[in-house]
A and B are shown apart, each in its own frame.
Chain A
Amino acid sequence: MIWRYRTILLILIGILCLIIVRLFYWQVVKASELSLLGQSQYGRVIKVLPQRGEIKTSDNFPIATNKISYLVFANPKEIKDKEENSLLLSHALGVDRASVSAKLSLDRFWVPLKSGIDMQEKEKISKLSLPGVGFEKQFIRYYPEASMAAHLLGFVGKDEAGGDKGYFGIEGYYDRLLRGKEEIAIQIHDALGRPILSRANENSKETRGSNLILNINRSIQFIAEEKLKKGIEQYGASGGLVGIMDPKTGNILALSSFPSFSPSDFQDYTPNLYKNPSISNLYEPGSTFKPLVMSSALDSNLVTPQTKCSICSGPVSVSGFDIRTWNDKYYNDNNMVGVIQHSDNIGMVFVAQKLGIDRMINYLSAFGIGDLTGIDLQGEVSQSLAPKELWYPVDLATKGFGQGISITAIELLSATSAIANKGVRMEPHVVGAVEDPNGKISKIPPKILGKPISEQTAKVMTEILVNAVNKGEASWTRLKGYRVAGKTGTASIPVKGRYDPNQTIASFIGFAPADNPKFAMLVVLDRPTVSIYGAETAAPIFFSIAKNLLLYYGIAPSE
């Protein structure tokens, strides 16, 4: 009898071992596979839409934010009467009937019909109760100030995978910070498909992008845009730009240019308009460049404000090229104050020759000419200064008065701001702080790029520029009672190796109040037709904006 008991016991133990082995196989070896299979039975994978970060002006107003919109899609296999449904949908969506009909006749389970529809349109289509038609929630960019600061902002388009991607300006430069992280959440549901647990990650802040708080002052940007728009119309220019910077910090307070585009409908505009002319277009600065060359010579102690120009009595010839003043008027024994006041090209040839090629290259490099300024916008360009071997005497002479050199508006604004800021050059910066999805704000501190000239030189140059405003060509439009430092510029446009005498780039650069500047500003008009001179076109725009800014800052006249 005992052997029978033992046999049965062994059989039972054997069965038990088999069960344990099998359980080990399911529980350990196949565990992850089964877990996924289980999840697919009781859970539904949901794509959590990332929200792009907002772009706010310095007053915390979102100049670029997100709004909810919907993508209308259809399942053609569920739609029986395709003709009638395509007619109804084309009317409701405002899309061509043939296009809807073609999409509904595809042998697919999902076809997109129209994206970017708002809540009202969605309600209208929902009321039609069309079978197989559904909606997908999306976030699209919304610009409460419409096309304000369009070049500065850039726009949001699509990448190769169909996701959102920022192009140009801030959207392009800070795309990785702004774009959210797409996440996947699992919603658990019961046998009838009803959710029985909340989505674990739905409200995760990690999916959102960071917000950017700009140094851009919305009021100043608005004033600059309005005045520039009006000025372009008034002087018949083909375009123009205004850049305003705080010289002490490098903060960009406003940056505007026309013609522009609407970031929400960027696809309706020619791609040439996407580029920000302030950072992407090179131009010859003309006389607005003179303060940089003059301050370099002053800083080297090669000239003083009282130094007399010994060659200013008439045109000069350099390497066979005749150089004249802009109005063919010549001032014998003109001193350096008068050279800037009369915008005397011959006087600047005198200064440039005193300076020499080596010092000229060194000082211009210290002012940041020929280099990227490092502004935090996508699309900045620069043209390097030619190597010393390629500088001929005539190049030195013409560069002295801003011809034969190509720079961007931001390069000139940044360099001139150094004169306004006691000789210290700051990095121009558009974004002042970054706010992460948890609300933590990280400020971006001002960055010093160098000190091209001494404080004393900057002070002397400022006085020369104040004199130029008070007694120069633009004195008719100056602000009485305020000490404003500035310089006009009228640069001919090189066309096919020659300068076109009838087409110019008129500009004005300056800062105010001269003794404690709150802003440095550059106004550039492209091909003004009413007058070709900066003193008659760009200068009035400059002073019109400056007047508003001084009032805005509450600065009383000092004289």
Chain B
Amino acid sequence: MKKPTFIIFIILFLIVTLFLARAVVSNSLSTTGLILLKFESQLNSYKIENSMLKEKLLSLTSLSHISSESSQLGFVENKNSFTLSKPLPLAIKQ
């Protein structure tokens, strides 16, 4: 009976290839958790920073803040208003 060398070779090749592939995939997967954890904590810190910046922005743009700042800078309420009740005179070329 003739030895099926070719088939044995193919099987061995497949075993080795699959073994290596599994090792590579497992290796890459094992570190995914750590990367994810890093990303999540990074994302979290950005979210917190955003929230703090938003809080600061809202506080600075609040009317109570603007009002107190403007009075400190010497702005005063305009008591008199000026309105144009008649149409502006037009210069007509004679």
Contact = CB atoms under 8 A, between A and B. Distances in A.
Given A61-B61, A195-B36, A551 B51 contact: no
Contact of A196 (B36, B52, B55, B63): B36
B56 to A, nearest CB: 10
Interface stretch (A140-148, A336-344, A432-440, A525-533): A140-148
A222 B48 contact: no
Contacts of B78: 551
Contacts of B52: 68, 119
A142 B55 contact: yes
A145 B48 contact: no
B22 to A, nearest CB: 17
B42 interface: no
A352 B81 CA distance: 43
B83 interface: yes
Given A148-B64, A189-B33, A196-B36, A62 B83 contact: no
A194 B83 contact: no
Contacts of A148: 63-64
Given A67-B55, A119-B52, A222-B67, A190 B33 contact: yes
A146 B64 CA distance: 8
Contacts of A226: 67
A68 B46 CA distance: 12
A144 B62 contact: yes
Contacts of A197: 36
Nearest to B56: A144
Contacts of A190: 30, 33
B58 interface: yes
A222 B83 contact: no
B32 interface: yes
Interface of B: 29-30, 32-34, 36-37, 40, 48, 51-52, 54-55, 58-59, 61-64, 67, 78, 81, 83-85
Interface of A: 61-62, 65, 67-68, 119, 142, 144-146, 148, 189-190, 194-198, 218-219, 222, 226, 551, 556-557
7 contacts: A68-B52, A142-B55, A194-B33, A195-B36, A197-B36, A551-B78, A557-B85
Given A145-B62, A195-B40, 5 more contacts: A65-B58, A196-B29, A198-B36, A222-B67, A551-B81
